[in-house]
A and B are shown apart, each in its own frame.
Chain A
Amino acid sequence: MTRPWAPAVLAVLALVLALAPAVGLGAGASGRAEGGSDWLLGGNRPEDYAVELEPDGGRLGTAAALLRSTATRPRGFVSVMRWIDAAPHRGERVRFTAWLQSEEVAGWAGLWMRTDDLDAPRQTLAFDNMRRRPVRGTTDWTRHRVVLDVAEGADRIYYGVLLAGVGRVRADQLEIEAVDPEQVPTTGGPRLPPGPKNLDFDHPPAAAGGRSEEGVGPPP
């Protein structure tokens, strides 16, 4: 399959990158950390969604990221995401928080975070995408969090906001920080072992398909 949506994706991505600093979408106080990425467009079906900056859509009247479905029956999911180097955080407990507001989300939305060991065989060490505590329907601004332990073998921490299915979700004040393990419980843990993939060759896993690994979040 060709990817006729590629230009649109790039346009949206460029928009996000251009405006991200203005919104304070950066990684807490550190902004774009050394050994990390900018905010990226992710997901496995970005052609069914739009990701925009709303200059005054934020919780306090400032800017917010808006993820919304554009297709009548959107497939897969879309995500705004970034990654940081996990090495400085090995052995730490890390919390990703953001404020989310949703409108008529018929699918689900949430924050997600995962830690990956990039050495072959590449594997995800810990993961949480709020699948079991999803944001649905119409909700006012609410602070959400995902908390993971960063294992010694972790090389990267990926995190972001995702929307799967029909709806609109706004995200504001995205922050990632180390927390006290005695005070803050984890919300996710070691990922279940990966099973067989793409056995019929028609369903490539989300991390594949010709796009860069950084451009793709976790399958919802």
Chain B
Amino acid sequence: MSRTAQSPVRRVALRLAAGGALLVLTSAQVAPPAGWEPMGWQTEAYEVRLDRGSGRGGTDCVLLRAHPDARPAEKSFAGVSQKVPAEPYRGRRLRMSAWVRTEDVTGWAGLLLRIDGPGREILAVDNMRDRRIRGTSGWNRHEATLEVPEEAEFVVFGIFLRGHGTVRADDFELDLVDPRVEVTQPPVEELRRRETSR
């Protein structure tokens, strides 16, 4: 029986031939870089870590990966995020941007920007589901822009990968932008209004 190719990931691969199917159980690692929190759902198949020297210009970056041998569960995803007080951004328009490089992303990746209100109510959110990052590409800048209402408590931002592929991200930025810069998603309240008036 062939052995699983050695990857830099410290992982335990167990292969079972069951009914002719090859089942690979992989225990990868979610180890966010300093200052970042893990995010995700059923992250067993994913590797999340600092990737030294692979960033833009040879600096460090964050790596998200679901190895081809791994079987990420349906709707599973993994990534990194930060949660910061919304106070400096209240009443303004906030743009988050980051540079992203991908290899063989057959699932999809996206930046996440979310504005949370009191009681963790989501006031606005953009996860780029309408402009998914896929395939293989060099460093591209992606962004998400949301209005931060006065009642906002926290801003959550980050990047995630859903399904197979390798994603590297570097140089996140949070900027207050002119209101003429269009939001990439309307407030949740407005989405609800549209929904009910339909």
Q: Is the Cβ of B83 less than 8 Å from the Cβ of A121?
A: yes
Q: Is the Cβ of A193 less than 8 Å from the Cβ of B85?
A: yes
CB-CB nearest in chain B for A207? B34
CB-CB nearest in chain A for B37? A121
The 0/1 profile, CB within 8 Å of B marked 1, for residues 164-194 of chain A is 0000000000000000000000000000011
Given known pairs A196-B172, A208-B34, the reply for A201 and B82 (CB within 8 Å) is no
Size band of the interface chain B makes with A: 20 to 34
User: What B residues does A200 contact at CB under 8 A?
Assistant: 55, 59-60, 170-172
Tell me if B190 is interfacial: C-beta within 8 Å of chain A: no
Interface residues of A in 75-104 (CB under 8 A from B): none
Q: Is the Cβ of B35 less than 8 Å from the Cβ of A205?
A: yes
Q: Is the Cβ of A196 less than 8 Å from the Cβ of B82?
A: yes
CB-CB nearest in chain A for B83? A121
Q: How many chain A residues have a CB neighbour from B under 8 Å?
A: 16
User: What B residues does A201 contact at CB under 8 A?
Assistant: 33, 50, 55, 59-62, 170
The answer for the CA separation of A204 and B85 in the assembled complex, in Å, is 19
17 contacts between A and B (CB under 8 A): A121-B83, A195-B88, A196-B82, A196-B172, A197-B36, A199-B174, A200-B171, A200-B172, A201-B59, A201-B62, A202-B59, A204-B33, A204-B34, A204-B35, A205-B34, A208-B34, A208-B35
**Chain A residues proximal to chain B, CB less than 8 Å:** 1, 121, 193-202, 204-205, 208-209
**Chain B residues proximal to chain A, CB less than 8 Å:** 33-36, 50, 52, 55, 59-62, 82-85, 87-88, 157, 170-174
